[in-house]
Amino acid sequence: MALIRHFVLLKLRILGNGMRPRGTAGSKRLVMFIVGVVLGLWMATAGFAVLAIGSSSDDADVRIAVVGLTGALVTAGWLLLPLLFFGVDETIDPARFALLPIPRRILTTGMVVAACVGIPAVATLIATLGLVVGGAVRGGTPAALFAVPAAILSLLLCVLGSRAVTSAFASMLRSRRMRDLAIILIVVVSGSLGPGQLAIASLVEQNGLGPLTTAGRVLGWTPLAAAHAAVLEAGEGRWPLAMARLAIVVVALALLAWWWSVTLEQAMLGTSTTGPRDRKVSGSGGAVDALIPAVLRGLPAGGLIAIVARDLRYFWRDPRWRASFASLGIVSLFLPFMLVVMTDEGRAAAPLPAVTLFIGVIIGISLANIFGSDGLAFATHLLVGVPGRMELRARIVSLALVVVPLLTLVTIMVGLLRPAAASVPAALGTAAAGFGTAAALSVTAAVLMPYPMPQAGNPFAVSSGGALLRSLLVLVGMVSAIGMTGPVIAAYVLLPETLIWLLLPIGGGWGVFAVLIGTYIAGDALDRRGPEVLTSITPRL
């Protein structure tokens, strides 16, 4: 017990150090700690209110929907967030205790107890204790008393689950690639919050609480929300079912404890269970051939294919591009479903071709500073003497290879779900027109108005100065791109319903024409202004 006390003191010392403003770094930690306390209080208060009101409702469907979904969301957050923020908490990484002669049982117990001494654990416990109010309202004192151990078991499940998951993937999480992937997941989760709320609101408005109630009932029989649902059973006097749900949590705790004990030593030593991997270079081209993605290997070699292959590798390896693609993917999924599928009274808020036109413009405008992400690496292209037209066309082809399949799939899915299958060809045509015109304008802007990008290690960093002006330029570019698709829009308005499919070749041809003309003009400018572009995109030290 004395050793376990040291884990608590260690956690308190870490929290105390965070409140000591020593220099700039200390001030930042203090600000972050204060922000964490405020967010913790807000989440604790909001969670307590949601669970208290939801578990006290007279409607059984409301009770199981609110309690089941809220409990599952909190537990899932505890399991997933440590994977994204691995290394932030100094007491999370088991490798820090590898050289200390601490028995495994004491180590695991101490780490769990230390994890309970912190803002997230306290906020979670306060929020979960909102079930006490619902238990008291629905079942009186016995149900209220039953809610207390249920809340404690729920907290232990969250803490033990987060520790077990972190230990199991500790070796993987220490790699730079996984940290970059965590950044992308944070972007995806953050960008999905708004669309998710709108989607749930639309789902409830159209179908009532039926789907949410079903999900809550299912989750109530899983470890994610079994402890929360057990309080509802106790409030209705169904004590055998309440004990059965708590038994699910106890069994899950036992399994997590066993899993943690198995993976803890591996996490402390920093070993990996995946075993060594030998990279084998196959094919007659050797190492050079291995740099070309499989989708391009059948094409004749040349400068354009080489640049496309390089860009595709950059898209996957550079966290800035991955964050950008995550945002573009969310937009491509969110807008069509929200404006076409999830609408009231069976009427779409906007025609599918209009939505895909706008999405195509958004995707194409992402090329507005295509050279900024290269930085000094762009000097290699200047030294080799890559023609400007080839350079720009390769950049557009690279982006198209990534986004066109996704946009095509989403358009077809939306057309089948609406149903609006007849407008799918027209939607694909307008998307191609929007993407082509926006890409042509963007590469022109990239040549005439380049600027340096933040360092690749932090996609959330911003370069100093000119942010408002660049945002206005992007807005002007989007409006201009939509205006340049005027002939395609006119064809959509004037063509009869039976000939609307002609927008596919019309829009596709217009997009290709815009790309050819734009890269022809901007390519010549790039040949003349190559050194100036390199100077503009070079980061200022």
> Would you state the structure tokens that stand for residue 538, as one six-digit string?
């070079």
Tell me which of 340 and 125 has the higher pLDDT: 125
**DSSP letter string over 95-145?**
GGGTTS---HHHHHHHHHHHHHSSHHHHHHHHHHTHHHHHHHHHHHHHHHH
Confidence of residue 250 (pLDDT cuts 50, 70, 90): very high
Percent residues over pLDDT 90 in the chain: 13
Q: What is the largest CA-CA distance in the chain?
A: 82
Q: In this predicted model, what pLDDT tens digit does every residue of 397-433 receive, in sequence order?
A: 988 888 888 888 888 877 776 666 778 888 899 999 9
Instruction: Note whether 260 and 305 are same-domain residues.
Output: no
Mean pLDDT to the nearest integer, 122-127? 90
3-state secondary structure (DSSP) of residue 489: helix
Confidence of residue 277 (pLDDT cuts 50, 70, 90): very low
Instruction: Note whether 235 and 310 are same-domain residues.
Output: no
What pLDDT is recorded for position 104? 73
Amino acid at residue number 33? F
Instruction: Note whether 212 and 334 are same-domain residues.
Output: no
CA gap 33, 167 in Å, rounded: 25
Tell me which of 205 and 277 has the higher pLDDT: 205
Confidence of residue 18 (pLDDT cuts 50, 70, 90): low
CA gap 219, 229 in Å, rounded: 9
Find the distance separating the first CA and the last CA of the chain, reported in whole Å. 53
Give the structural domain span for 321: 299-459+481-535
Instruction: Note whether 188 and 305 are same-domain residues.
Output: no
Residue 512 lies in a domain: yes
Task: Look at the alpha carbons of 500, 504, 509, 511 in this order and tell me if their dihedral is positive or negative.
Answer: positive
Residue 470 lies in a domain: no
Residue 328 lies in a domain: yes
Residue 540 DSSP label: P
Q: In this predicted model, what pLDDT tens digit does every residue of 439-475 receive, in sequence order?
A: 999 999 888 888 776 555 444 444 444 455 566 777 8
> Would you state the structure tokens that stand for residue 387, as one six-digit string?
């023609």
Residue 58 lies in a domain: yes
CA gap 444, 369 in Å, rounded: 10
541 pLDDT higher than 60: no
Mean pLDDT to the nearest integer, 31-51? 84
Residue 336 lies in a domain: yes
Cα torsion 24, 29, 34, 36 to 10°: value is 150
Instruction: Note whether 254 and 125 are same-domain residues.
Output: yes
Tell me which of 34 and 277 has the higher pLDDT: 34
Cα 161 to its chain centre, rounded Å, is: 21
In our burial notation (b when 16+ CB lie closer than 10 A, e otherwise), range 64-103 reads bbbbbbbbbebbebbbeebbbebeebebbbbeebeeeebe
Least confident of 67-76, 270-279, 422-431, 482-491: 270-279
CA gap 99, 386 in Å, rounded: 55
CA gap 118, 9 in Å, rounded: 12
Cα 298 to its chain centre, rounded Å, is: 33
In 3D space, the residue among 431, 438, 448 whose CA is nearest the CA of residue 514 turns out to be: 438
Give the helix/strand (H/E) hosting 285.
none
For residues 420 and 352, the answer to whether their CB atoms sit within 8 Å is yes
Amino acid at residue number 377? A
Residue 333 lies in a domain: yes
For residues 139 and 236, the answer to whether their CB atoms sit within 8 Å is yes
Least confident of 5-19, 92-106, 133-147: 92-106
Instruction: Note whether 246 and 305 are same-domain residues.
Output: no
Mean pLDDT to the nearest integer, 101-107? 76
Mean pLDDT to the nearest integer, 117-144? 88
Instruction: Note whether 232 and 318 are same-domain residues.
Output: no
Instruction: Note whether 220 and 260 are same-domain residues.
Output: yes
In 3D space, the residue among 435, 316, 309 whose CA is nearest the CA of residue 366 turns out to be: 435
Cα 275 to its chain centre, rounded Å, is: 29
Q: In this predicted model, what pLDDT tens digit does every residue of 475-529 receive, in sequence order?
A: 888 888 889 998 999 988 888 888 888 889 999 999 999 999 999 999 999 889 8
167 pLDDT higher than 50: yes
Domain boundary among 219, 247, 269: 269
Q: Exposed, middle or buried by CB within 10 Å (0-12, 13-18, 19+), for 433?
A: buried
Residue 464 lies in a domain: no
Q: In this predicted model, what pLDDT tens digit does every residue of 293-312 receive, in sequence order?
A: 666 766 777 778 888 888 88
**Alpha helix locations (H) across 236-318?**
239-269, 286-290, 303-317
**Which residues have a Cβ under 8 Å from the Cβ of 378 and sit 6 or more positions away?**
371, 533, 534, 537
> Would you state the structure tokens that stand for residue 71, as one six-digit string?
């409990």
Instruction: Note whether 239 and 319 are same-domain residues.
Output: no
What pLDDT is recorded for position 462? 43
Instruction: Note whether 495 and 440 are same-domain residues.
Output: yes
Note the pTM of the prediction, 2 decimals. Answer: 0.57
CA gap 235, 143 in Å, rounded: 5
Number of domains forming the structure of the chain: 2
Instruction: Note whether 335 and 246 are same-domain residues.
Output: no
Instruction: Note whether 325 and 263 are same-domain residues.
Output: no
Confidence of residue 235 (pLDDT cuts 50, 70, 90): confident
CA gap 26, 4 in Å, rounded: 28
Q: What mean pLDDT value characterizes the chain?
A: 77
What pLDDT is recorded for position 275? 44
CA gap 159, 156 in Å, rounded: 5
Residue 164 lies in a domain: yes
Domain boundary among 248, 269, 290: 269
